[in-house]
Chain A
Amino acid sequence: MSQYPRRCAMLWNLFVLMLLASVSHNVYAQNAPLKLALDWYPNANHLGLFIAQAKGYFRQENIEVTLYTPVDPSTVLQTVGSGTDDFGISYQPDVLLARAQGVPVVSVAGLVPHPLNSVIALKSSGITRPRDLIGKKVGYPAIPTNEPLLGTMLKTDGARGLQDVELVNVGFDLVPALISRRVDAVVGAYWTHESIMLENQGHPVHIMRMEEWGVPDYYELVLVTNESMIKSKPEVITRFLRAVRRGYEDAAQDPQAGVDILLKGTKAEVDEKIERPGATLLAPLWKTDKTPFGMQDAAKWESFTRWMQANGLLASPVKAEDAFTNRFHSGN
């Protein structure tokens, strides 16, 4: 994603860590609203949450929820893990990384069941498959997981791996990097966001989806909470998830109405021209015929954990079944 102010907070974040260490031992008041840390500024991915908020689904479950974007969104798992936040939106790979380091976070619902992360290149570059990237420059944000993801895609398409491309850290400004031709393709870009940004600016793109090129299917966005919450307030989680599910079901039915609510409810920079098409692209992902929304596929967790292990990303072995739970999904 491409917003600048994220960076401002890195040092602030470290200071916050020290504060968190003390705060984590506070017992939060029973009646205080539940805090949910978003993974980024409000966007189409969060439609269900905002719908649930606006249509009173949380209230009907007798809970109050505060949705907010942390100053430094990369700390979501840390704030949830330490108890400062009750819930958070994060990414499946990050949850596994965190658990490997002993952060006590657990995914309770999958919000986006497939990777949104993709490799994007301008149509004019003629790059249509990972093999075309050999010898070219690929830009990525400094998130380490992008490297093995790209590596797997390359290997699946017959290349040797990462050594065949030149990885350039372009920060989070993937779109300008691609448009200015400083890089030939970018990884770490969402096919529901950056691609729309590029097309809006008149640059048609070609998207290479992760799961089509050898990466095990995984959840892009998951809803996480911490183990102490699971232990002490399981029924709150159940009620919370019920409301969230209703919100996302509404979003799947009428995504554009959801965007209306998003625009009304947030003061932040919501770019309509990106979120409307984005919502349309996401809606099919939320439609679930068989299982209730948010129910997680154990196979996805297993296979992705194995993949991460095989790529040496996990500092210590992680048991996939510890990283997620479907316990809190009540039947319809």
Chain B
Amino acid sequence: MRLRISTENLRGVYYYSVNIHGDEALQVLEKPLTLSLRERGKNGSIKINVRSAVKRVASNAPAEVLEDVKVRVEGVSKYMLQHGQPFAVLQDVDLYVNAGEFVSLIGPSGCGKSTLLNIIAGLDQPSSGMLYLNGRRAEQRLGTVGYMQQKDLLLPWRSVLDNVILGLELRGMSRRFARARALALMEQFGLKDFEMAYPYALSGGMRQRAAFLRTILPEHEVFLLDEPFGALDALNRAQIHEWLLGLWATLHKTIVLVTHDVDEAIFLSDRLYVMTARPGRVQLVQVIDLPRPRRLEMVTTAHFVALKARLLAALRQERAAEP
């Protein structure tokens, strides 16, 4: 297991601690660091905490906390009934997402990717296994993560502005306040001049961006994206990828993306999980060590293509294995 801790977008001084078998050592992080650690089994688990301490340089920038693993899925299985017979949608899925990471899930259709996201979001509960959010087991997870679906699901009776503030409104924020917050971001999301428009007047790409704004406004730590760009054509998608990465770079959120598109997965993420066909299980974990910030031109580099080839092979294998 390789862990990369980058100071690229950080300001000030950060400490990191390595906890091995209960011993904690505090070190100062002054430049990018790559740790190579061997993964241990359950009894001797390795916990890496990166904490931020008071900055040596006084600045007005808020101390950014990169906490522990944001999402941890341990041995989660999900069974459903069909014609009275139980069948496994997910089988012993293990994955984790670190804070600030962009992780993708790809796999053949029906492998339970969406089910997994539903479970993480709290719409569903695992039949067996554990789920940790922010290091804690949370039975009531609804409303703790941002979840963007395939369909934009903008409410047709609300203006675009009122749609994007939906998340804030549901949490009790006053509409006036929420609108002010949203208005500040409308331009960045390419929705300037469309605040008072209604969803029917927006193009597909704009609707997705509005849905995305709705998702991020409540400022959750973790965002789940379920094939959010599936409905867009290639051109729009490329644009939106760049835009998304730019946004993510400023927001520093943890993102889990589910997608069919291998290119998209590779381009956007830090790590990638390939899932098997039903019952879904993690087949392959691939670290995407392409440099950040990602550029569109990377798509044709040899490294990218090699990664893609590897992943496609894995997927093809899966498809061959499908009944």
A/B contact in complex, CB under 8 angstroms = no
